[in-house]
Structure 1
Amino acid sequence: MRGRHPWRLKVHGTHVLVAGATGAGKGSILWSTIRGLLPAVRAGLVEVWALDPKRMELSFGRDLFGDRYAATPGACADLLEAAVAVMQDRADRFAGLQRTHTPTTEDPFVLVVVDEVAFLTAYQSDKGLKLRISAALATLTTQGRAVGVGVLAALQDPRKDVLSIRNLFPDKIALRLDESEQVDMVLGDGARDRGALADHISPIPAQGAGVAYVRLETSPDPIRVRAAYVSDADIRDMVAVFTGATPSLPGEGA
């Protein structure tokens, strides 16, 4: 039996796709990641850009994102294209000088968090916006990580016709899924045969919410993990700390 260790999700230098059925715990992964980054955000080394087309998950803590929050399809397209502009500017400046990105206050790591990305791609009725959004996402996921622009995207339906660029995410997380065939759709061929039984995760929230299998670019073997639950009160506390209403984040000095 494997020992239990803290799960640390790398988001710098990669892109991460999170898939899971309704109630599987996608919010736990998104908010745990944001919470873990907040000390670096306060130090100016990280920026979190939030796209929230359902207006449910990320809007609860929108004060954390400032003007880097978008909910309408048009605003989401604009924000994604702004991230592409940042990426391209850095690529021009870094060319011939450096091949990897180190976060600084001048060039912080930018994490673009997209909740329910399918609302902006497969389910987007405006063809012009759909093309803009899909092009920006494809550009970010093919060129962004070397210059410090990453994407963390979540969705419910992992079919290829819902998210055609899913293979551009090097690291993938499968929460509870409805069908066994969906496991390999998310984690790649052979993942379920290697033990990623995401379709067997309990639908009872106390038992299965936040439980997932992770398959990293550096290893074909899936690892079973569980994300911490981040409550509404936790998010309110995060916002209060970030806006200066309370003195420190958990783990920071007073």
Structure 2
Amino acid sequence: MAELIEEAAAVARDRAGKLRGRTRQHTPTPDEPLIVLVIDELANLTAYLTDRQLKDRIKAALSILLSQGRAVGVHVVAAIQDPRKEVLPFRDLFPTRIGLRLAEAAQVDLVLGDGMRDRGALCDRIPQSLPGVGFVVIDGDPTPMRVRFSYLSDDEIRDMAATYGRLRVIDGEVLEGAA
């Protein structure tokens, strides 16, 4: 994973060099597509990893991606269960934050930013009967927005996989493959 994150950071630095003096925003193309790095349970890479050198490599590369990657088309989407600063020291570098159901009121401000619970983001009051409900805070907008993401149960996901199988695109043509 460290190598993958470092490779993404290298792409971001390379693209920044190419864009310097020409434009501030990368426009995705087939040759230089938008890259989205999805990390589930980021704490495994930032806090729970025991190899100090590996942890430092990951933190350095992630810091580059989180501070410079968006403009050059290298995005990071990460999920974490424990939002404390000790677990995720650079959480302020995430410009868009999503808080789903949280266990404690204090966690709301840790996830979404200072004062967000007082502004109405009551993530700690979302009932278990409403999976997918949460609040989103976008960089520059001090107002949390209540959202509802679609929720699919494991059975529904298995049914879709069995029904639709795997789709592949080759030379712009969609081909159906085996599930």
**Is the TM value for this pair above 0.5?**
yes
Quick check: which has more Rg, 1 or 2?
2
Task: Name 1:100's counterpart in structure 2.
Answer: 25
1-structure distance, mates of 2:28, 2:175: 27
Number of aligned residues: 169
Quick check: 1:222 aligned with 2:148? no
2-structure distance, mates of 1:242, 1:221: 40
* Unaligned segments of structure 1, at least 5 residues: 1-75, 248-254
Contact 2:24 2:71 in 1 (8 A): yes
Instruction: Name the one with the larger strand percent.
Output: 2
Quick check: 1:186 aligned with 2:111? yes
2-structure distance, mates of 1:236, 1:182: 39
Letter of the 2:166 counterpart = A
Which residue, out of 162, 166, 172, partners 1:240? Answer: 166
2-structure distance, mates of 1:227, 1:180: 21
Higher relative CO (Cα under 8 Å, sequence separation at least 6) belongs to: 1
Distance 1:239-1:167 versus aligned 2 partners, 3 A rule: farther
Counterparts in 2 of 1:1-150, with a 5 A limit? 76-150=1-75
Letter of the 1:212 counterpart = G
Equivalent position SS for 2:37: strand
Moved over 3 A (4+): 234-239, 242-245
- Cα displacement (A) at 1:232: 2.8
Task: Name 1:177's counterpart in structure 2.
Answer: 102
- Cα displacement (A) at 1:140: 0.4
2-structure distance, mates of 1:159, 1:103: 34
Query: TM-score normalized by structure 2?
Result: 0.88
Distance 1:121-1:211 versus aligned 2 partners, 3 A rule: same
Query: TM-score normalized by structure 1?
Result: 0.63
Distance 1:142-1:238 versus aligned 2 partners, 3 A rule: farther
| 1:84-125 Cα shifts (integer Å, max 9, x gaps) | 111111111111111111111121111110000001110111
Letter of the 2:11 counterpart = V
Task: Name 2:131's counterpart in structure 1.
Answer: 209
* Unaligned segments of structure 2, at least 5 residues: none
Which residue, out of 156, 177, 189, partners 2:81? Answer: 156
- Cα displacement (A) at 1:195: 0.7
Quick check: 1:195 aligned with 2:120? yes
Letter of the 2:137 counterpart = R
